[in-house]
Structure 1
Amino acid sequence: MKKLVSFVQGSIDELTTNVSWPKWSELQSSSALVLFASIIFAIVIGLIDFAFKNVLQSIY
């Protein structure tokens, strides 16, 4: 149990003192970039799916 408590205390210390957290504005811009890329990726996958569906329906 002592090792677990020591590990948790060390982890908390590491997160509060040694980790450099991004600023709120950086976090927002990164999130917007991920959202935009996800939407573009979903549209591309949807178009590929639509094309395959139509091609396969015309063959079969």
Structure 2
Amino acid sequence: MAKVTNYISEAFTELKSNVTWPEWAEVQRLTIIVAVFSVIFALVTFGVDKGFEVLVAKFYALLKN
């Protein structure tokens, strides 16, 4: 258990002293960029899914007739 506690303590020390953290404005800007691209990717995925749904429905309708 002492090894785990030591590991966590050293990890926090490294995060405080050795990691260069971005400025808050940069974090906000990058968060907005990620959110916008996530929404765009979700909409594209939705569009492709709906397109395949229509194609499969038409294919099965052709097979039925």
Same-fold call, TM cutoff 0.5:
yes
Q: Letter of the aligned partner of 2:31 in structure 1? A: S
Q: Which residue of 2 aligns with 1:9?
A: 9
Gaps of 5+ in 2: 61-65
Q: Residues 17-44 of structure 1, C-alpha deviation per residue, up to 9 Å, x if partnerless? A: 1100111001001100100000000010
Gaps of 5+ in 1: none
Shift of 1:4: 3.1
The aligned length equals 60
With the length of structure 1 as denominator, give the TM-score of the two structures. 0.87
Once superposed, what is the RMSD of the aligned Cα atoms?
1.2
Structure 1 CA distance, aligned partners of 2:54 and 2:4?
A: 58
With the length of structure 2 as denominator, give the TM-score of the two structures. 0.81
Give the share of equivalent positions with the same residue, in percent.
Answer: 33
For the pair 1:45 / 2:45, whether they are aligned, the reply is yes
Give the structure with higher Rg (CA). 2
For the pair 1:26 / 2:26, whether they are aligned, the reply is yes
